Structure 1
Amino acid sequence: MTTAGNAHAFPRSDRSVLGVWWWTVDRWMLGMVAVLICIGVVVSFAASPAAAARMSIGDPFHFAVRQCVFACVAAFVLVGVSMLDVKGVRRAAFFIWVAAIAIMIALPFIGHEAKGANRWIEFAGFTFQPSEYMKPALIILVAWMFSEGQKGNGVPGVSIAFALFAVSVGLLLIQPDVGQTVLVTIAFGAVFWMAGVPMSWVILLAVAALAGLSSTYFLFPHVASRVDRFFSPEKADTHQVDAAGVAQAAGGLFGRGPGEGVMKRHVPDLHTDFAASVGAEEFGLVFLLAVIALFGFVVIRGLQRAMKLNDPFQQVAAAGLFVLVGQQAAINLAVNLNMIPTKGMTLPFISYGGSSMIAMGLTLGLALALTRRRPGAYSHNDGLSKAGTYS
């Protein structure tokens, strides 16, 4: 074992699956994701007693224990998926998308309805949201179709990509889930643009997306209600958003202290959609800034790695996945800061929820698989083509 190898989990000469994975995956990215998962577990321990009491659950750490289980599963999924080769990523995306779409089609008949939406399947005390898994699979498939279409082999890649997008969005709107529709549309638009299509097409897609988003105000009463509450808070019940703001203000710079938050006792969704506000009250502004910095690191580093890839499919697919993660985090944090209407969207790895946690592990696992350092994956002058570059 070499001196350099002693500082790592595996020596450079280790050609086992784990050894090769360790020396080709972005370990800095793994570390930052591990920190986010740990933060999510800490926040769940802070929020769980109040949430359990509000729901008359005897075990005060019911949600925290479950979140620990979800975190372990998500970490296992992330590492396992990141070991896939490029062909394996495409195959996995295809089967995941087909399975998720099939379940979404069946939701009106077998789904669990909550708050006027039918987005989940409930079994054995757990809820499963198929749209969470559909998102990363869709991004990979449309990137694949765009790259195939550009090869000039007669594959109608753009048409297939739009068909996949239309099916996915149509099923999301049936649920209805406007927040996920917005997220998927933004990520699809980013992939569309990065694939190098004519700018006129990008502008046309943007106009169509804005028109579609505007129409949801008139088509879905809950969307209209949220928009009205945002622009006219004095005329509506804004209890959750107001409580989140009070929690953030009460936390100050360094917070009230672990377990000392009080606003979580009065708001139903503070352990899910507003987990960032729970953390801000107990750990202060430094907590929010640290979370923003961690997500910024993950997204920016991911995009930098993706843009240096030689293969157009890997480049666009990986970048699209990082955009997906970054956009979801940005939307959740913006809602917590009362910058946009509420969306019912989780903060990746930090909000309570099994489907969200595991799906985010899948998303970043796929992104890490695509950005691994393989022979010919990166050009020789970018510093990523030599062994041991990821330190």
Structure 2
Amino acid sequence: MVSRVERGPVADWFWTIDRLFLGIFILLMGIGLMLSFAASPAVAERLGLESFHFVKRHGVFMLPALSVMVGLSFLSPRQVRRTAMVLLAVSLIMMVLVLFIGVEVKGGRRWLSLAGLTIQPSEFMKPAFVVICAWLFAEHARQPEIPGNLFSVLLLGIAVALLIAQPDLGQTILISTVWGAMFFMAGMPWLLIVVLGGVGVLGVFGAYYTLPHVAGRIDRFLTGEGDTFQVDTAREAIIRGDWFGQGPGEGIVKRIIPDSHTDFIFSVAAEEFGIVFCMALVAIFAFLVLRGLSHAFGERNDFNRLAVSGLVLLLGVQSLINIGVNLELLPAKGMTLPLISYGGSSMTAICVTAGFILALTRRRPEKRAQERGLFRSVSGVPAE
């Protein structure tokens, strides 16, 4: 156990970190590894690989991802901003390169192959984008003559343009939704909310009429016609799981779900562990978001408030989209369940997000002083 009396960096980190947040992130990673044993062997066998190929890789991905999360949690808010700035610049450059030398999978060009590793730059762009936009909003609120809001709109336009070019409408909707929520919390005028909302609706209609694969997915969702094998099979797995599941390793329908270890791992969890387990999983994500927003609402610093809110909403909205697709409440979209689905880029990028959250929610001397001052003002005790 680390002593409270010690003054080293590790001891200071241990006693100032939000240990409940840390525990939730590690718990989700553990659940992801457990579900990888259930979901990935059938996929590996279909591809002619050793049964536990993806399980082993999942475990290998966890080690550097966990190191990234813990390492970033040591940063100060200023260091978080600087790290996010570098990460955003590098990821945007890589997203441009993806359009020319990227690996094409299922009609999308979203990955770069570097030194034998396949990287999805847009995954790393998301947390950096949220942090930098939070900083721009906060700077505009602090000094209105700084056009932070305008710069954030331009940054959103660049990110959206690169995502649509891949094309990746799901990630586009994700970052646009989170950006809009942050802008609202930063004090966006209602007229601008209506205008931007209208632009978003027009963008969806534009994607429907100009991108055939988007139109196909929406049509299949609305009519049920066409190739709906994966979502239909996922629904069957959920129904078969009933309340308490078939038991670990007893799933049958999961074996024929093509992306059971990535986009449809929630359905595997439902078949083997039941609806009750899935409800608990949803509750964990909901608690994660609510705890983050609770932290944010207690912040006096605009940057910390907006950044923490945006980062937890990024995790919450992404999990909502993934689960909504599994339940056939949303059109099919290739989006992972944070910290649970298989994928090196996704897991590492989510751990970057988690590391930023842990860094920004640490109890620092100035925050403790604010809390003591607030307590004295409420209790009537004179401030020192």
Match 1:328 to one of 318, 333, 336: 318
* Secondary structure of residue in 2 paired with 1:150: helix
Tell me the CA shift for residue 224 of structure 1: 0.4
Matches of 2:336 and 2:255, distance apart in 1: 19
Aligned counterpart in structure 2 of residue 350 of structure 1, from 317, 320, 340 = 340
Worse-superposed segment, 251-260 or 329-338: 251-260
Q: Which residue of 1 aligns with 2:296?
A: 306
Instruction: Please point out which of 5, 14, 17 is paired with 1:13.
Output: 5
Q: Is the aligned partner of 1:50 residue 2:39?
A: no
What corresponds to 1:386 in structure 2? none
Q: Which residue of 1 aligns with 2:231?
A: 241
- Cα pair 1:264 1:271 within 8 Å, conserved: no
CA distance in 1, matches of 2:64, 2:272: 27
Separation in structure 1 between the aligned mates of residue 230 and residue 116 of structure 2, nearest angstrom: 26
Q: Deviations over 1:56-115 (max 9, x none)?
A: 11x210000111111222211111111100110000010000000000011122210000
1:288 corresponds, among 278, 284, 305, to 278
Q: Give the fraction of aligned pairs with identical amino acids, expressed as a percent.
A: 46
Aligned to 1:220: 211
2:40/2:260 contact within 8 Å kept:
no
User: 1:134-177: per-residue Cα shift (whole Å, max 9, x none)?
Assistant: 01101111111111112226321111111111111110000000
Q: How does 1:110-125 map to 2 (within 5 A)?
A: 110-125=101-116
The offset of 1:124, in angstroms, is 4.8
Code of the aligned partner of 1:303: L
Secondary structure at the residue paired with 2:111? strand
Q: Alignment partner for residue 64 of structure 1, among 55, 65, 86? A: 55
The separation in 2 between residues aligned to 1:124 and 1:40, in whole angstroms, is 26
Deviation at 1:54, TM superposition (A): 0.8
> 1:33-44 maps to which residues of 2 (within 5 A)?
33-44=25-36
Letter in 2 for 1:265: R
Q: Identify unmatched segments of 5+ residues in structure 2.
A: 376-384
Q: Deviations over 1:180-214 (max 9, x none)?
A: 00000001001101111222222221221121122
- 5 Å matches for 1:90-129? 90-129=81-120
2:129 equivalent to 1:138? yes
Aligned pair partner of 1:151 in 142, 147, 154: 142
Q: Give the letter for the 1:253 counterpart.
A: W
**Change over 3 Å in CA distance of 1:262–1:93 after alignment to 2:** same
Which residue of 2 is the match for residue 74 of structure 1?
A: 65
Instruction: Tell me the equivalent position of 1:171.
Output: 162
Partner residue, 1:190: 181
The structural deviation recorded for 1:376 is: 2.2
State the SS of the aligned residue for 2:110: strand
Q: Which has the higher helix share?
A: 2
**d(CA) in 2 for partners of 1:40, 1:124:** 26
Q: TM-score, normalised by structure 2?
A: 0.94
CA distance in 1, matches of 2:117, 2:275: 33
Counterpart in 2 of 1:387?
none
Counterpart in the other structure of 2:381? none
Please give the secondary structure, in 2, of the residue aligned with 1:127: strand
Aligned pair partner of 2:351 in 361, 366, 375 = 361
- Is 1:274 equivalent to 2:264 in the alignment? yes
The 1-side partners of 2:316 and 2:47 are apart by 32
Count of aligned residue pairs for this structure pair: 373
Q: Matches of 2:113 and 2:206 in 1, distance apart?
A: 31
Task: Answer whether contact 1:48 1:64 (CA < 8 A) is retained.
Answer: yes
Match of residue 32 from structure 1? 24
Per-residue deviation, residues 364-385 of structure 1 (Å, max 9, x unmatched): 11011111111223632677xx
Determine whether 1:250 maps to 2:240.
yes
Deviation string, structure 1 residues 284-311 (Cα, Å, up to 9, x no partner): 1122111101101111111101110110
Paired residue type of 2:304: Q
Cα distance between partner residues in 1 of 2:117 and 2:246 = 33
Query: Secondary structure of 1:377's match?
Result: helix
Amino acid at match of 2:149: V
1:208-251 Cα shifts (integer Å, max 9, x gaps): 11211221111111110000000111x21210011001101111
Opposite residue 53 of structure 1, the aligned amino acid is E
